[in-house]
Structure 1
């Protein structure tokens, strides 16, 4: 077995009325959506940061600056593909991804299978190696007031 490394990722975005809400590559029906330079997919951004951190490749902002128009409105699934290519260049493959989304609404449980399918395809791994969970913030703070959404992710990568 090669060297094993673990990474941690976190992302947060504001929710804005009448804005698309993309999470895990899935467009959710909701009155408000995550706002950002790309598609503001907090789940994929947290996963990207976890993978980049594990491979000691800095963070998502370093590779995909919000001042660079190439990334304006881009699907974060494409960002994930770029990240996977970067870690592969360093000789790593993904062992697994475990992620948590924290939001009050909408409920994402029905969408998790589709999210896993999109992420598995973009990351070139099995859906069995991806765990996505959700929780609320018990109506406390900016998450509880539905002003924002947060995602956390950990991953394991290993040398090929």
Structure 2
């Protein structure tokens, strides 16, 4: 059995708004994230992790930000398309562990819905997706509430006999 590991990272800055999309879930907030697509940093980090781990590049190669077709695009849809491409290349995500680093919004109440959405997109059980919320202890741009970042690690398994 062949195993690979991919690491993904994404960050976006806050603007005044009506909620933050994290892992396909709209989390209530007086802020929103700025990005070319829907700015879902969770889906972006996970997409980067599975593409990188399978040797297929990164999210910017698959969904360039200079392509108008990606403006405002649903990042959960982008993740599903990346999962399909990864499977076509002979790999499947079997586990994802991610940390959302932000002073706010707090994700504890939304964790299970995020896990379920990601699990559905990845084709795994929710128990194979771990979502953790961390603060930056008021340090740096994240600590000052200017935005958030996500780090994702994905384990992939070869599905080719």
Query: Shared fold by TM > 0.5?
Result: yes
Q: Deviations over 1:40-88 (max 9, x none)?
A: 0111111000101100111100110111111111111101101100110
Q: For 2:36 and 2:100, locate their aligned partners in 1 and report how far apart those are by CA, in whole Å.
A: 20
Q: Is the 8 A contact 2:25 2:114 kept in 1?
A: yes
Question: Can you give the 5+ residue segments of structure 1 that lack an aligned partner in the other structure?
Answer: none
SS at match of 2:113: helix
TM-score relative to the length of structure 1? 0.96
Q: For 2:105 and 2:9, locate their aligned partners in 1 and report how far apart those are by CA, in whole Å.
A: 20
| Alignment RMSD | 0.9
SS at match of 1:22: strand
The 1:20–1:68 alpha-carbon spacing in structure 2 relative to 1, beyond 3 Å, is: farther
Runs of 4+ displaced beyond 6 Å:
none
Equivalent position of 1:131 in the other structure: 130
Post-superposition shift, 1:20? 3.9
Question: Can you give the 5+ residue segments of structure 2 that lack an aligned partner in the other structure?
Answer: none
Equivalent position of 1:113 in the other structure: 112
Note the 1:17-36 alignment, pairs <5 A: 17-18=16-17, 20-36=19-35
Q: Is the 8 A contact 1:19 1:35 kept in 2?
A: no
Note the 1:2-151 alignment, pairs <5 A: 2-18=1-17, 20-151=19-150
Q: For 1:95 and 1:120, locate their aligned partners in 2 and report how far apart those are by CA, in whole Å.
A: 10
TM-score relative to the length of structure 2? 0.96
